[in-house]
Amino acid sequence: MSPEQPTAPEADPTAAPAASALPIALSPQASAAAQEAGPARVAGFSVALPQFEGPFDLLLTLIARKRLNITELALAEVTDDFIAHMRADWDLGRASEFLVVASTLLALKAHRLLPHEEDEEDPDLELLEARDLLFARLLQYRAYKEAATAFQERALRASRSHPRVVRLEPHLAALLPRLVATISPQDLARLAVAALTRPGDPGVQTLHLHESVPVGEQISLIASRLRAGGPLTFSELIDDAGRTAVVVARFLALLILHRQGAADLEQDEAMGEITVRWCAPSEDLSGIMVGDVEEEFA
């Protein structure tokens, strides 16, 4: 504390808040009382500004209670003082706490300094909300810090305790059921292999995509139509085919019949219509072999 500065009495919490532009310095008793009621702790750090000289915690308390005008404070000097203070012993916890508090103070000061539109409903209400936000954050950080201290004390007490390890009494141990092994090591090995063996990738066949078309059925169908209706064009043979797979299967069946000598194919010009005639001497199709082609087409 600076001895040449006047000593101010302790602030009344019920008094109307007012911003002060005069330097503020409190007596040790008033400083201790204000710090006890303050919302946050940045222990061991003091600031020396033209408007205030004392602990940083007390500065936050006065700003939160609107006893000190934040627009008159040089936050850059506060930051420089804190960096100089932390160079002796870097504490990441205290540094992060100061950064959050300083950023809140900077946002509050910017809100006070920046111009506002004339048609705003209630600028004082926004200022009160910003001040309340600062106070709420300070209270929150103080609660976290006190909770961390409590957890640390409990962990320290728990580390000094040791469980009592004793064996089960004989008359109670006799009541335990006797374990009987119902599985051999070989069985365990087989189960482990089955559990650890990676299954093969499932193969996707054409059967999963659409229904297959047996070529043998298409051979019988073409033969019956040729014997009943005489020569037919390929377009007439596939007129009732519902999908492409049926068309391809009938064309493959037609090639098989032509190769076996059961059907004759005529085409007058390239890319022209194909005329099919039945030329087998017998109606028995048992001699028609599918051969090495696929029996089903999908």
Sequence-ordered list of residues with C-beta below 8 angstroms from that of 282, at least 6 positions apart, any chain:
none
Please identify which residue in the block is written with the tokens 């390239």. Answer: 270
Please identify which residue in the block is written with the tokens 């209630």. Answer: 122
Three-state secondary structure call for residue 292? coil
Split the chain (298 residues) into runs of 10 and give each run's mean pLDDT: 41 37 37 41 64 72 70 73 73 72 72 63 59 70 83 91 83 84 89 87 67 82 82 84 84 86 83 84 57 47
Alpha-carbon span 231 to 229, nearest angstrom: 7
Residue 218: DSSP 8-state: H
Alpha-carbon span 139 to 133, nearest angstrom: 10
Give the pLDDT confidence score for residue 35 in this predicted structure: 41
Residue ranges of domains in the chain, CATH in brackets:
28-114+122-157 (no CATH), 209-297 (1.10.10.580)
Alpha-carbon span 167 to 144, nearest angstrom: 43
Tokens for 241? Answer: 């085919």
CA 142, 143, 146 angle in degrees (round to 5)? 85
Contact 144, 128 (CB under 8 A): no
pTM: 0.31
Give the pLDDT confidence score for residue 106 in this predicted structure: 74
Alpha-carbon span 286 to 256, nearest angstrom: 13
Question: Given 3-state DSSP classes, what are the helix, strand and coil percentages for the chain, each rounded to the nearest 5?
Answer: 50, 10, 40
Residue 70: DSSP 8-state: G
CA 240, 242, 243 angle in degrees (round to 5)? 135
Residue 261: DSSP 8-state: T
Tokens for 190? Answer: 């087989």
